[in-house]
């Protein structure tokens, strides 16, 4: 089954404790991205990757890092989480460049930073 | 910056009533996608519109792209409780490979 798998689904952590949210897709998509969803703000892009070792900032990259060492994986790293990063996070992959092909989303990770 | 306005923010309807959400941009769009997110779920792609004036239908859902390619609408005829969720538009501006999401319209349906 074609899917985007995110882990964990829920995460509660404390300020400053490094964390990683994993994302994996089995569709051989080149393009992957991370979004955060906050009430009234829709989905905002954090980072995206057009291929292995090619990543770029989205609209709200501050406080986040990503890596793309393999085509299927695109982890999101919070080196020093802060309470304003409490949010619902989605990983997505797509066949072609952003905005041309449909996005396939993971199930989401609800992060709480206290 | 580039923005897309989506209205209304919320809509609460009686089952059987119609529902429409609108997506508006001040900039000409290359294409627009629509997504549905069920409560507690993730966004799921519904459709993509590319051509000026394009109209597409999926059962009770009708999607329209404006003639000037600056706005779009999603209309649901005779809503059902299964239609509950948040509907997002996502737009791509000309000369861009970036999708910008609207803030979404949350639809609630009274049985």
Locate the chain B residue with the closest alpha carbon to A99. B99
Pairing of strands A87-94, A31-38: antiparallel
Choosing among B98, B102, B106, which should be mutated to test the A contact, i.e. which has the most A CBs within 10 A? Answer: B98
CA distance B41 to chain A (A): 6
Cα separation, A62 vs A50, whole angstroms:
20
Judge whether A87 and A31 are in contact, CB under 8 Å: no
Torsional class of A4: left (φ above 0), alpha (ψ -120 to 50), beta (otherwise): beta
Structure confidence at residue B85 as a pLDDT band (50, 70, 90): very high
In tens, the pLDDT along B86-105 reads 999 999 887 667 789 999 99
Which residue in this structure is represented by tokens 């997002």? Answer: B88
Exposed e or buried b per residue across B21-44, where buried means at least 16 C-beta atoms within 10 angstroms of its C-beta: bbbbbeeebbbbbbbbbeeeebbe
> Would you put residue A85 in left (φ > 0), alpha (ψ -120 to 50) or beta?
alpha
Structure tokens at B87: 């509907």
pLDDT at B2: 55
By C-alpha distance, the chain A residue nearest B4 is: A42
Q: Per-residue pLDDT tens for B10-67?
A: 999 999 999 999 999 999 999 999 999 999 999 999 999 999 999 999 999 999 999 9
- Can you tell me the distance from the alpha carbon of B4 to that of B27, in angstroms, rounded to the nearest whole number? 9
Q: Is the pLDDT of residue B1 over 70?
A: no
| φ and ψ of B81, to 5 deg | -60, -25
Q: Is the dihedral of CA A10, A16, A22, A23 positive or negative?
A: positive
3-state secondary structure of B92: strand
Please tell me the predicted confidence (pLDDT) of residue A104: 96
DSSP type of residue A109: E
Residues making up chain B, counted from first to last: 111
Instruction: Specify the pLDDT at position A96.
Output: 80
- In the predicted model, residues of chain A with pLDDT beneath 50 are none
Nearest to A107 among B42, B91, B99 (CB): B42
Comparing CA positions, the residue from B29, B19, B99 lying closest to residue B63 is: B19
Test the A interface: residue of B7, B43, B91, B96 with most A CBs within 10 Å:
B43
Of B42, B44, B88, the CB nearest to A108: B42
d(CA B66, nearest CA chain A) in Å:
18
């Amino acid at each position: 089954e074609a899917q985007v798998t995110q882990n964990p689904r829920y995460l509660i952590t404390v300020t400053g404790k490094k964390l990683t949210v994993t994302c994996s897709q089995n569709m051989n998509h080149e393009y992957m991205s991370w979004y955060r969803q906050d009430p009234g703000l829709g989905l905002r892009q954090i980072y995206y990757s057009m291929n292995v070792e090619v990543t770029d900032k989205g609209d709200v990259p501050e406080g986040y890092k990503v890596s793309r060492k393999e085509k299927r994986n695109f982890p999101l790293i919070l080196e020093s989480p802060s309470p304003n990063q409490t949010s619902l996070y989605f990983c997505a992959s797509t066949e072609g460049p952003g905005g041309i092909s449909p996005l396939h989303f993971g199930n989401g990770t609800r992060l709480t930073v206290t | 910056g580039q923005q897309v306005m989506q209205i209304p923010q919320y809509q609460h309807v009686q089952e059987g009533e119609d529902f429409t959400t609108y997506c508006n941009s001040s900039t000409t769009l290359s294409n627009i996608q629509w997504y549905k997110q069920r409560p507690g779920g993730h966004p799921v792609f519904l459709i993509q519109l590319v051509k000026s004036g394009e109209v597409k239908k999926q059962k009770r859902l009708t999607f329209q792209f404006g003639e000037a390619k600056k706005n779009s609408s999603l209309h649901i005829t005779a809503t059902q409780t299964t239609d509950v969720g948040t509907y997002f538009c996502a737009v791509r501006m000309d000369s861009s490979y970036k999708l910008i999401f609207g803030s979404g319209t949350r639809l609630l349906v009274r049985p």
